[in-house]
Amino acid sequence: MSLKSRGELPSRSVISQKWTLLLCVGCFCAGMLFTNRMWAVPESKGITRTTAVEAEKLKLVSEGCDPKTQKFVKRDSKDIIGEVHKTHHAIQTLDKTISNLEMELAAARAAQESIVNGSPISEDLQKTESSGRKRYLMVVGINTAFSSRKRRDSVRATWMPQGEKRKKLEEEKGIIIRFVIGHSATSGGILDRAIEAEDKKHGDFLRLEHVEGYLELSAKTKIYFATAVALWDAEFYIKVDDDVHVNIATLGETLVRHRKKPRVYIGCMKSGPVLAQKGVRYHEPEYWKFGEAGNKYFRHATGQLYAISKDLARYISINQHVLHKYANEDVSLGSWFIGLDAEHIDDRRLCCGTPPDCEWKAQAGNVCVASFDWSCSGICRSSERIKDVHRRCGEGENALWNAVF
């Protein structure tokens, strides 16, 4: 008898299906349990969940703005700025060194030219070569001519200290004053010998490597500043005419107000007409450079007295061979500073009139720096009248020796 006929096969089939179903359910449950145990990440003592605050900090760190590291960033910035300042200071020091070397070179060239031309080396140049450079407040160059002996004597008798007082002025106040003159067309002629004799008596001349002439005033002005900056290390360099009255202490007090400024050009600023007509005084041959007929010059200091700072004097010294000269020396000087970062200072005390103008101002407590007559471009008959101007408008001798610059 077969199994099928006995009925055993169907009963076993039913039992297998039940156990099979239970076995599948058991395996599924076991699998779920096993899966949960394997993928659940246990929380370690050293690992904590990320909070919202910490997530924000992580974001700041990723952007380079972490508050803790920000201190190091600021510190690095300060270090960089400090290095920049050190580099800038080193450049400035190097620039000053180069400028000093250029001035020493200019002085050496002036000495060499004097030897080659057979001219005696000035006492000031010898002092510069034999000793270190002393710092001065200002160098005052009084522009003069061979025919102006009476004017020079009148200046010596009024506002320009003489002898030991002049030396004291240089040593204690740092003020150098010299008459500025070149040479005649005939070197070693009677005119030059007269100046040499006068210089031996007073010792107050600055001789230039320049041939004197009315039409050469622009060249003389350029050579004066180049020579002065080579001889003396001063804060200011002044040019004044020999027919102008000057109060030295008031001039010094005026200049020291601007000593912290790097490039200053001080004077009575004006803008006169450009004269194209030939034969007239102050004729400008290059009038066409200033535009249409009737135009005016650019603003510049009047020529009776003006002052420039050391940087501008150095600029003239270094570039003297390429600076253009116009017919009028005050116009030429003003043109040399066009395009430079120089401050023009208009001070009307540098161009007061003669009495009663300067006298009234002195009585009101506003002492003038310089006095002259506009009609004469200086004090009219200065050799005769400057003593009266000095008596009525002078600041007094004590003002100079009591002044602190």
Taking only the tens place, the pLDDT of each residue in 104-159 is 565 555 555 544 544 444 455 445 444 567 999 999 999 999 999 999 999 999 99
User: Which of 116-125, 153-162, 267-276, 347-356 is predicted with the least confidence, judged by mean pLDDT?
Assistant: 116-125
User: What confidence score (pLDDT) does residue 37 get?
Assistant: 52
Q: Please, is 288 exposed, middle or buried when counting C-beta atoms within 10 Å of its C-beta (0-12, 13-18, 19+)?
A: exposed
Q: What's the pLDDT score for residue 109?
A: 58
Whether the Cβ atoms of residue 345 and residue 266 lie closer than 8 Å to each other: yes
What mean pLDDT do residues 248-277 have?
Answer: 95
Nearest 5°: the CA angle 52, 55, 56 is 90
What residues form DSSP beta bridges with 135? Answer: 233
Inform me whether the pLDDT recorded for 82 exceeds 80: no
How is residue 40 annotated by DSSP?
-
Question: Is pLDDT at 76 greater than 70 in this prediction?
Answer: no
Residue 190 has pLDDT above 80, yes or no: yes
Say how far apart CA 298 and CA 268 lie, in whole Å.
13
Q: How confident is the model at residue 173 (pLDDT cuts 50, 70, 90)?
A: very high
Q: Can you give the pLDDT at residue 140? A: 98
Whether 340 shows a pLDDT value over 80: the answer reads yes
pLDDT at 15: 56
Kindly state the average pLDDT of the residues 336-346: 96
**At residue 74, does pLDDT exceed 70?**
no
**CA-closest candidate to residue 246, choices 350, 330, 356, 143:** 350
Tell me the HSE value of 52 on the side-chain side, using a 13 A CA sphere.
0
Task: Give the model confidence (pLDDT) of 306-323 as tens digits.
Answer: 999 999 999 999 999 999
- Percentage of the chain beyond pLDDT 90 is 60
**Tokens, residue 372:** 């002259």
Flag whether the pTM goes above 0.85: no
On the question of pLDDT at 95 being above 90, the answer is no
How far lies 15's CA from each of 9, 10, 18, 28, 329, in Å? 10, 9, 5, 20, 132
Mean pLDDT of the chain: 82
User: CA–CA separation, 169 vs 185, rounded Å?
Assistant: 34
**What is the reported pLDDT for 1?**
46
Mean pLDDT score, 300-311: 97
For position 32, what pLDDT does the model report? 65
